[in-house]
Structure 1
Amino acid sequence: MSISSTSLRPSKPLRPLVVCGPSGVGKGTIISKFMEYSLHSNVLPKFGFSVSHTTRQPRPGEVDGVHYNFVTRDFFQEKINLGDFFIEHAEVHGNMYGTSFQAIFDVTKVSDGGSDIPDGVERQCLLDIDVEGVKSIKGFQSRQQLKLSMEPTLGKAKSTQQYASETRELPLLCANFIFIAPPSIETLRDRLLNRGTETPETLERRFRNAKAELIFGMTPGNFDAIIVNDNLEQACSDFTTAVLDMYLLNE
């Protein structure tokens, strides 16, 4: 990846919305409804959905470059080895997923009228990622903050050189984190069963991973807001309220 730091580093921090939740919790439905609502809202900020890379096979109806960038494992590993392609990546359910630096920049560029967003309107990036991805982004933000805190002591040139491999091409990230949880682990298992898309092996693997994700997601301090999806309409309303608190009331 070749990106100019001067052309991509904005004058203010990027504030992506990071949404996380176990498989089967209804996260995709809530995000889709929120994106549609925010598009026509005069109150909510505008969001763009980042397109992640994955090594898994496309599901029916998924389009390469729209829902995901579907790539081979060799291609994915090659990009990991570059060291500056992904802001976060992880292996989930036997497949690799990752968010590239470029995916965030592509979303947050000021609209040129070529999308549903009005010309000249800034967008925030929405990231739909797993728990390991959340940990990666939090770690990246911590390293950026450490770099800034050390600059007065070490001098800008030294601190910039020390952290260049991780921060040279990214603006300061100040992400907001939302976790979507089921009303109970039993409800989540029923939802996974009712999807009818899982084999006994994949069901057990997703259920096992979900337990670990719920422990992290429900731990105080790991997320800025937790939305329990017991009733879809209420969960969508709670999600929208949380975003308003994050992006408007805290301006």
Structure 2
Amino acid sequence: MAEQSRLVVLAGPTAVGKGTVAAAIRDEHPDVWYSVSATTRPPRPGEVDGVHYHFVSDEEFDRMVAEGELLEWATVHRVARYGTPRKPVEAALAAGRPALLEIDLQGARQVRETLNRDGGPEALFVFLAPPSWEELVRRLVGRGTESEEERERRLETARVELAAEAEFDVTIVNREVHDAAAQLVALMTAPSTDSEA
């Protein structure tokens, strides 16, 4: 019962494949509740509002922050804001479902701070790492969704994000999506006692 309502926070550098791993979990493990973040950035091709993100205006995001509706929020890549709506996370955990937050490094830090301050649910913080820096660069360039300027900004951000690995409870190296997803699900459904890793 209570040990099934585990909150797992997945973070890692830009382009490491967090979204792809989370999507594999969503497709293959419908028992895992997956948080859908709110964002002020426009949708990328193929993204669906309410499935990939809740796409909101700057004004709506301001309202959500002011009314305490976000578990965490941050400005990412100095451009768009992202945040995790609080109520759906709390409802999933109360229903006894393992819950996954796939967020950026700033957001993971805020969740840890919020849970420590508010005495929230136990959470396991998982860092998704690339097999190598070269592979991370290849993935970012290969997806072709950013301009050259945006790519450079994201690579600069990724260098900083990689240095934060030690802040996490567990590291999973994303060599292959389904393997990384299986490792993450195993952590999510394991009894939440004693040490992790």
Residue of 174, 180, 183 corresponding to 1:229: 174
TM-score normalised by the chain length of structure 2? 0.86
| Aligned pairs, number | 192
- Counterpart of 2:118 (choices 113, 133, 144) is 144
Unpaired stretches in structure 2, ≥5 consecutive residues: none
User: What is aligned with 2:103?
Assistant: 129
Query: Please, which of 39, 47, 58 is the counterpart of residue 73 of structure 1?
Result: 58
User: What is the aligned-residue identity percentage?
Assistant: 37
1:250 maps to 2:163: no
Q: Deviations over 1:77-117 (max 9, x none)?
A: 222223x211100001210000121231343453xxxxxxx
> Is structure 2 residue 35 aligned with structure 1 residue 87?
no
Report the Cα distance in structure 1 between the residues aligned to 2:192 and 2:89, rounded to whole angstroms.
24
| Aligned amino acid, residue 230 of structure 1 | R
Structure 1 portions without partners, runs of 5+: 1-10, 40-45, 111-121, 146-171
RMSD: 2.3
Q: 1:106 to 1:66 in 2, by over 3 A?
A: farther
- Residues 200-209 or 98-107, more deviating: 98-107
Contact persistence 2:7–2:188 (CA under 8 A): no
- Equivalent pair of 1:23/1:206 in contact (CA under 8 Å): yes
Tell me how far 1:30 sits from its aligned partner.
1.7
Deviations 1:47-68 (A, max 9, x none): 1111211000012222212221
Deviations 1:169-220 (A, max 9, x none): xxx321111111112222211111111112111001111111111111x21x
Higher relative contact order (CA 8 A, sep 6+): 2
**Which residue of 2 is the match for residue 105 of structure 1?**
90
Instruction: Give the alignment's TM-score, normalised by structure 1.
Output: 0.69
User: How far apart are the structure 1 equivalents of 2:124 and 2:192?
Assistant: 13
The one of 156, 166, 190 aligned to 2:138: 190
Find 2:45's aligned residue among 60, 65, 78: 60
Which structure would you say has the larger Rg?
A: 1
1:23 corresponds in structure 2 to: 14
